[in-house]
């Protein structure tokens, strides 16, 4: 019976991790949309804040002996760090240029793309039942994009790039944890500062650093508080992503998005009653 109890505890931990990821993912989408609409904070700068806060959070965790850092070769993490930058930047650009409902529906395509990548590049096979579940997902996303009353071509481009890079990123997270024999915190501890450094080099070419609209510009206290809160929630999102993929598989992680999608579609329907500054509008 001991093995059964251990198995139940393992399933309980995974369920708790999926629930945490679901809750914080919903929170960060609406919070980031609020920041874009009401404060106009630049996208890449917000992503940089997320990376820095994630690394600081992990630094505090390792100082509290929550995990023990493991020395990793930087060359093994370059592609993962680049994909992390693309994952967050493109998904945030998709959120910035699409309605929340369209943004979330586009994210549902991550699962089919992950299956294609794992089938072609890692020679993994999936049952017919799993493959058949992808048909309604794909059709739903296509129909929504075609009939979206707020269709935005640029937003769709960012959404497509976000799905592709996110899928690669999630596959590589699982592969790197297995290859380097590290847990979620150990991998993210080294990868987050590397991604921060990469983005720090790029940000000045696309967004102002000083003055109105710059990351170091004259922002109100409420804007700074919201940005900091977004960074803390991003830390929880990133950590839960790594933990879920490390303890399950890259294919498992996107499935909580189905629950997120239901929440977003419901809120999107209700938001049509709001005036033009609401979260649903871009």
What's the pLDDT at 273? 39
Q: How crowded is the C-beta side of 216, counted as CA atoms within 13 Å?
A: 5
What's the pLDDT at 112? 86
Residue percentage of the chain with pLDDT more than 70: 80
Question: Could you give the CA distance from residue 80 to residue 84 in angstroms, rounded to a whole number?
Answer: 6
What's the pLDDT at 126? 78
What's the pLDDT at 241? 75
Residues 172, 83: contact at Cβ < 8 Å? Answer: yes
CA 1 vs CA 11, 165, 274: distances in Å: 15, 43, 55
What the block records as the tokens of 109 is 């395509």
How confident is the model over 176-230, as pLDDT tens digits? 888 888 887 888 888 889 989 998 888 888 888 887 778 888 888 999 999 999 9
What's the pLDDT at 225? 94
What's the pLDDT at 274? 39
Backbone angles phi, psi at 116, to 5 degrees: -65, -45
| 115: nearest Cα among 106, 107, 103, 127 | 127
Segment of 21-25, 45-49, 128-132 carrying the highest mean pLDDT = 45-49
What's the pLDDT at 282? 36
What's the pLDDT at 49? 92
Instruction: Tell me which of 16-25, 136-145, 225-234, 252-261 is least confident.
Output: 252-261
Residues 110, 163: contact at Cβ < 8 Å? Answer: yes
In whole angstroms, what separates CA 131 from the centre of its chain? 24
What's the pLDDT at 227? 93
| 118: nearest Cα among 261, 251, 226 | 251
What's the pLDDT at 1? 54
Question: Could you give the CA distance from residue 170 to residue 163 in angstroms, rounded to a whole number?
Answer: 11
Q: How crowded is the C-beta side of 282, counted as CA atoms within 13 Å?
A: 19
Between these two residues, 122 and 223, which has the higher pLDDT value? Answer: 223
Please check the confidence at residue 250 and state whether its pLDDT lies above 90.
no
In this prediction the pTM is 0.72
What's the pLDDT at 275? 42
Mean pLDDT of 232-246: 82
Please check the confidence at residue 259 and state whether its pLDDT lies above 70.
no
> Where would I find the H helices in the chain?
2-34, 43-63, 78-97, 100-107, 110-121, 128-147, 153-180, 184-206, 221-247, 256-271
What's the pLDDT at 258? 46
How confident is the model over 74-113, as pLDDT tens digits? 888 899 899 888 888 888 888 888 877 778 788 888 888 8
| 239: nearest Cα among 35, 112, 63, 59 | 59
3-class secondary structure, 208: coil
Q: At what angle do helices 43-63 and 78-97 cross, to 10 degrees?
A: 130
Between these two residues, 137 and 161, which has the higher pLDDT value? Answer: 161
3-class secondary structure, 210: coil
Biggest CA-to-CA distance, the chain: 65
């Amino acid at each position: 019976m001991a093995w059964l109890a251990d198995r139940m505890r393992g399933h309980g931990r995974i369920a708790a991790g999926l629930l945490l990821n679901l809750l914080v993912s919903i929170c960060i989408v609406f919070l980031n949309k609020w920041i874009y609409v009401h404060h106009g904070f630049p996208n890449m700068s917000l992503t940089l804040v997320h990376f820095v806060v994630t690394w600081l959070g992990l630094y505090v965790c390792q100082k509290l002996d929550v995990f023990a850092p493991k020395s990793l070769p930087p060359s093994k993490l370059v592609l993962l760090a680049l994909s992390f930058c693309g994952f967050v930047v493109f998904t945030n650009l998709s959120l910035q240029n699409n309605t929340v409902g369209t943004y979330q529906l586009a994210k549902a395509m991550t699962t089919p793309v992950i299956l294609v990548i794992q089938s072609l590049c890692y020679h993994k096979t999936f049952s017919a039942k799993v493959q058949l579940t992808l048909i309604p997902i794909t059709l739903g996303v296509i129909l929504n994009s075609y009939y979206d009353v707020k269709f935005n071509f640029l937003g769709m481009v960012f959404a497509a790039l976000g799905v592709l890079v996110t899928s690669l990123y999630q596959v590589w997270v699982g592969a790197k944890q297995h290859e380097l024999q590290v847990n979620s915190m150990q991998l993210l501890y080294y990868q987050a500062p590397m991604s921060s450094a990469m983005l720090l080099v790029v940000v000045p070419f696309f967004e102002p650093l000083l003055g109105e609209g710059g990351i170091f510009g004259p922002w109100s206290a409420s804007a700074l508080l919201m940005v900091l809160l977004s960074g803390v929630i991003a830390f929880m999102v990133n950590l839960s992503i790594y933990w879920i993929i490390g303890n399950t598989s890259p294919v498992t992680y996107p499935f909580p998005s189905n629950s997120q999608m239901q929440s977003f579609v419901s809120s999107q329907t209700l938001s049509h009653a709001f005036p033009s500054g609401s979260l649903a509008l871009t």
